Amino acid sequence: MKAYEIGAKLEMLDHRVRLNIAGYLMNRSGTQIDFDNVDTTQFLPGTNIPNPTFNLHTENTQNAPGISKIRGIEVDFTARPIDNLTIGASYAYTSIKVPATPNPNPGPTFGVLTPVYTVYTPPNAASGYIDYEIPINDMALRFHIDANYADAQYSFQSESVKTDSSFIVNGRIALADIKLNQTTKFTLSAWSRNLLNEQHIYRRSAANAAVLGDYANFNPPRTFGFEAAVKF
């Protein structure tokens, strides 16, 4: 592995603004790639004798030839423009290219150069949040909201099929530091994940497309709840 990175960490405006930025590149040789294999031959060739390895699932590891190239940029921003208000945002760009790799599994695909897709690594991902606090005597009313975006991405290294892009918003409201006595404080909060009830496919496969079509998994729907915490 040869890795290079350049970046900066900045604080400005009386430490109310913080900006971190970095760019990196990596050249990696001998990337390990896993290949799955399922023996679908029910009988030994030319006979009615059951194949002892029928439905046997094996996995073999092969080193990718040549150089895998990884490139990326990361940016992280935090600001406190006024007292009790904090805002933040981040962005990441990632590019990964792995050379096609010979399939090590026995059968008709043995030795065939197979494209390799990096899973769960969106080319572009971004997030942002807002935190605001209102003092109420000795207590505090706190508001939090965050949003997270990701490009469509691969979920299986051997399949070119991608998931959906996603945009998830979460929120929380809390009444904190409620005094129960001199040493014990109480916090009550309400929260929601996937506040906008956004729906997307986060895992998808076309392995059985010719027979059954694609299959996929969807993200959880909107959820919400309440929490109570005691600090003593």
Task: Give pLDDT tens digits for 7-16.
Answer: 999 999 999 9
Q: Does the residue 148 lie in any domain?
A: yes
Please give the tally of structural domains in the chain: 1
Tokens of 172: 């929380």
Indicate the pTM of the whole model.
Answer: 0.86
Predicted confidence (pLDDT) at residue 127 exceeds the cutoff of 80: yes
Count of residues in the chain: 232
Amino acid sitting at position 116: V
The mean pLDDT value of the chain amounts to 94
Predicted confidence (pLDDT) at residue 107 exceeds the cutoff of 80: no
Tokens of 32: 């390990």
Confidence of residue 219 (pLDDT cuts 50, 70, 90): very high
Q: Does the residue 135 lie in any domain?
A: yes
Q: Does the residue 6 lie in any domain?
A: no
The CA distance from 182 to 148, in Å, is 39
pLDDT of residue 207: 83
Q: Residue 183 is part of which domain span?
A: 126-232
Q: Does the residue 11 lie in any domain?
A: no
Q: Does the residue 155 lie in any domain?
A: yes
The CA distance from 21 to 221, in Å, is 34
In sequence order, the β-bridge partners of residue 134 are 141
Q: Could you give the maximum distance between any two Cα atoms of the chain, in Å? A: 85
Q: Does the residue 177 lie in any domain?
A: yes
Q: Does the residue 19 lie in any domain?
A: no
pLDDT of residue 6: 98
By DSSP bridging, strand 223-231 and strand 185-193 are: antiparallel
CA dihedral 210, 213, 219, 221 (to 10 degrees): 180
The per-residue pLDDT for range 57-79, each reduced to its tens digit, is 888 999 999 999 999 999 999 99
